[in-house]
């Protein structure tokens, strides 16, 4: 196979990669009624308002229902979950799992994606009287082990926690006949491949395997070669149609303007996801936004699973309008009507850019991806987007610019921390400190220096008070 094709995710030539003998896939079906789906599933699809299959579902479901292995690639939101999920459930229906021995397995890289897959499949599993269990890190393993002992036909899991349960003999995989690996490229990016292969090597030989990935690289090639036999190969919503619904913008900003610009974007009407590189930066910027009157919340790997679940639910319902996240949220989050993603810190890899941006323009909707680029980041962004095959619109902006408002819907926040009053009420924004994140235009560094002097004065005063207390204790 052409290695450059693999790096860019091109599925042409994969017949050579997989050893495909040329066995054709079954014809695509234009309606769910035309597929070999159980009546209970068709009834549930109608009740859920799912009437027409997405292209990846129409193409892969007939062959997956027939037991064929599947290798699929599609943009986030292209309908991959039901593409493998409906086939997995239909082919498992009517069977009963023994304690600790699931019959079907879906491996995903993140807790959020596991919960999302489980939520999407639950109505159909219930209609078929199948028990579905979710196994992820960050929650009590004892409760998950109890659920497996009670018996579950379908298991959705992250690799680390499932491996722990297998090692403790709370789960066995030798009865798994259908195994799905979702978001295989992110599994590789997160270093999960040793755990993934260890788990897949334990499932029942000769069963059905389905692998879905947004991109295909050398690591994913290895999984395909090792586990898929004569698969149906399909790609959906990869380029022209999806790309036409996404606007890509690179906004050139100065360092002193970066977080003031990001704050104005966050104050817009409507929801937005904003990405930063580190947990510390996420927490710090979230505090800045909250202090500016923006309903923001942080999401990263340092949060407990209940915290992450609660944050996502508040974001979905609109109680929180700005989700500030690290790459942990780049996949596995589905929020309807999300039309803007902002890279406050630019990604360093084309795949990260695509995964972050995949939170918007889902399922045929439109959206925008905006990246803030400092002068020393612009060359790298040009290279990265060229590798990703993206030609962005480039605009130089400053806080308050009309172009910034036009592109992002930015607004002046209700309150600017450090300005001594509401910006809406005419407070002076010059020199306002963005809580350790630099200064906005005015007298650069003045507020930060004054803040440092105040902190030093407080520490000196506290030390003097402590010394007086110690002296008084000694005299007593």
Whether 439 shows a pLDDT value over 90: the answer reads no
Question: Quick one: pLDDT band at residue 11, thresholds 50, 70, 90?
Answer: very low
Pick the residue with more confidence: 285 or 453? 285
C-alpha gyration radius of the chain:
26
Going by C-alpha positions, the residue among 181, 186, 177, 137 that lies closest to residue 154 is: 177
The per-residue pLDDT for range 130-189, each reduced to its tens digit, is 999 999 987 778 899 999 999 999 999 999 999 999 999 999 999 999 999 998 888 887
Three-state DSSP class for 132?
Answer: strand
pLDDT value for 343: 95
pLDDT value for 456: 54
pLDDT value for 37: 94
Averaging pLDDT over each range in 19-33, 254-268, 315-329, which range is the top one?
Answer: 254-268
Residue 240 CA: distances (Å) to CA of 91, 222, 279, 390, 457: 34, 28, 35, 11, 60
Question: Quick one: pLDDT band at residue 44, thresholds 50, 70, 90?
Answer: very high
Packed helices 39-47 and 80-92: angle between N→C axes, nearest 10 degrees: 150
Same fold, 3-238 and 241-441: yes
Per the CB < 8 A criterion, the answer to whether 154 and 135 are in contact is no
pLDDT value for 15: 46
User: ∠ CA 310-105-302 to the nearest 5 degrees?
Assistant: 30
Phi and psi at residue 231, to the nearest 5°: -80, 155
The residues, ordered by sequence, that sit 6+ positions from 199 with a Cβ below 8 Å of its Cβ are: 105, 107, 159, 162, 163, 166, 173
Give the residue-averaged pLDDT of 326-337.
69
The per-residue pLDDT for range 369-403, each reduced to its tens digit, is 999 999 999 999 999 998 888 889 999 999 999 99
User: ∠ CA 76-157-275 to the nearest 5 degrees?
Assistant: 40
pLDDT value for 444: 39
The residues, ordered by sequence, that sit 6+ positions from 449 with a Cβ below 8 Å of its Cβ are: none
pLDDT value for 429: 39
* Residue 85: strand pairing partners: none
Three-state DSSP class for 10?
Answer: coil
Scanning 228-328, the segments in alpha helix (DSSP H) are 240-243, 258-266, 279-291, 305-317
Whether 24 shows a pLDDT value over 80: the answer reads no
Question: Quick one: pLDDT band at residue 219, thresholds 50, 70, 90?
Answer: confident
Delimit the domains of the chain by residue range: 3-238, 241-441
Question: Quick one: pLDDT band at residue 63, thresholds 50, 70, 90?
Answer: very high
Q: Write the DSSP string, 187-198.
A: HHHTT-HHHHHH
* pLDDT, averaged across the chain: 81
Q: pLDDT over 70 for what percent of the chain? A: 76
Per the CB < 8 A criterion, the answer to whether 19 and 230 are in contact is yes
What is 3-238's CATH number? 3.40.50.300
pLDDT value for 474: 38
pLDDT value for 419: 44
Whether 36 shows a pLDDT value over 70: the answer reads yes
The residues, ordered by sequence, that sit 6+ positions from 272 with a Cβ below 8 Å of its Cβ are: 265, 266, 321, 322, 323, 338, 340, 341, 342
Query: CA 110 to CA 301: how far, in whole Å?
Result: 10
Whether 294 shows a pLDDT value over 70: the answer reads yes
The per-residue pLDDT for range 82-104, each reduced to its tens digit, is 999 999 999 999 999 999 999 99
Averaging pLDDT over each range in 30-44, 91-105, 202-216, 416-430, which range is the top one?
Answer: 91-105
CATH superfamily of 241-441: P-loop containing nucleotide triphosphate hydrolases (3.40.50.300)
Q: pLDDT over 90 for what percent of the chain? A: 50
Question: Quick one: pLDDT band at residue 465, thresholds 50, 70, 90?
Answer: low
Whether 66 shows a pLDDT value over 60: the answer reads yes
pLDDT value for 49: 87
Query: CA 206 to CA 146: how far, in whole Å?
Result: 29
């Amino acid at each position: 196979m052409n290695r450059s094709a693999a790096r860019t995710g091109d599925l042409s030539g994969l017949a050579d990669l997989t050893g495909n003998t040329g066995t054709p896939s079954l014809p695509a079906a234009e309606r769910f009624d035309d597929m070999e789906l159980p009546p209970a599933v068709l009834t549930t699809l109608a009740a859920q308002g799912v009437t027409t299959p997405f292209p990846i579902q129409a193409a892969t479901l007939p062959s997956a229902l027939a037991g064929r292995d599947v290798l699929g690639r599609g943009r986030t939101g292209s309908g991959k979950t039901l593409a493998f999920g409906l086939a997995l459930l239909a082919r498992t229906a009517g069977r009963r799992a023994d304690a600790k021995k699931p019959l079907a397995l879906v491996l995903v890289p993140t807790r959020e994606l596991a919960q999302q897959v489980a939520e999407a499949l639950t109505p159909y599993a219930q209609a078929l009287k199948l028990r579905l269990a979710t196994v992820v890190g960050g929650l009590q393993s004892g409760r998950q082990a109890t659920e497996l002992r009670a018996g579950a036909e379908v298991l959705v899991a992250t690799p680390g926690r499932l491996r722990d349960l297998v090692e403790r003999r709370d789960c066995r995989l030798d009865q798994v006949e259908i195994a799905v690996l979702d978001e295989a490229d992110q599994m590789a990016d997160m270093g999960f491949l040793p755990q993934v292969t260890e788990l897949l090597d334990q499932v029942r030989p000769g069963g059905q395997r389905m692998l879905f990935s947004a991109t295909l690289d050398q690591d994913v090639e290895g999984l395909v070669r090792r586990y898929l036999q004569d698969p149906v190969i399909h790609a959906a919503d990869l380029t022209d149609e999806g790309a036409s619904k996404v606007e890509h913008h690179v906004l050139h900003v100065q360092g002193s303007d970066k977080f003031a610009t990001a704050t104005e974007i966050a104050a817009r009407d409507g929801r937005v996801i904003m990405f930063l590189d580190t947990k510390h930066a996420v927490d710090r910027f979230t505090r800045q936004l909250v202090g500016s009157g923006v309903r923001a919340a942080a999401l990263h790997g340092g949060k407990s699973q209940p915290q992450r679940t609660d944050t996502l639910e508040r974001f979905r319902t609109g109680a929180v309008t700005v989700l500030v996240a690290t790459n942990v949220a780049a996949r596995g989050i589905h929020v309807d009507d999300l039309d803007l993603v902002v890279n406050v810190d630019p990604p360093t890899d084309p795949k990260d850019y695509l995964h972050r941006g995949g939170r918007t323009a889902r399922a045929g909707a439109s959206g925008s991806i905006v990246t803030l680029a400092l002068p020393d980041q612009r060359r790298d962004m040009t290279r990265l987007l060229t590798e990703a095959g993206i030609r962005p619109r480039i605009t130089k902006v400053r806080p308050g610019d009309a172009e910034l408002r036009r592109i992002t819907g930015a607004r002046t926040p209700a309150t600017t921390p450090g300005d001594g009053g509401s910006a809406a009420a005419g407070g002076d924004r010059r020199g306002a400190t963005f809580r350790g994140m630099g200064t906005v235009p005015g007298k650069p560094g003045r507020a930060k220096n004054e803040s440092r002097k105040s902190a030093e004065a407080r520490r000196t005063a506290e030390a003097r008070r402590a010394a007086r207390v110690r002296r008084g204790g000694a005299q007593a």
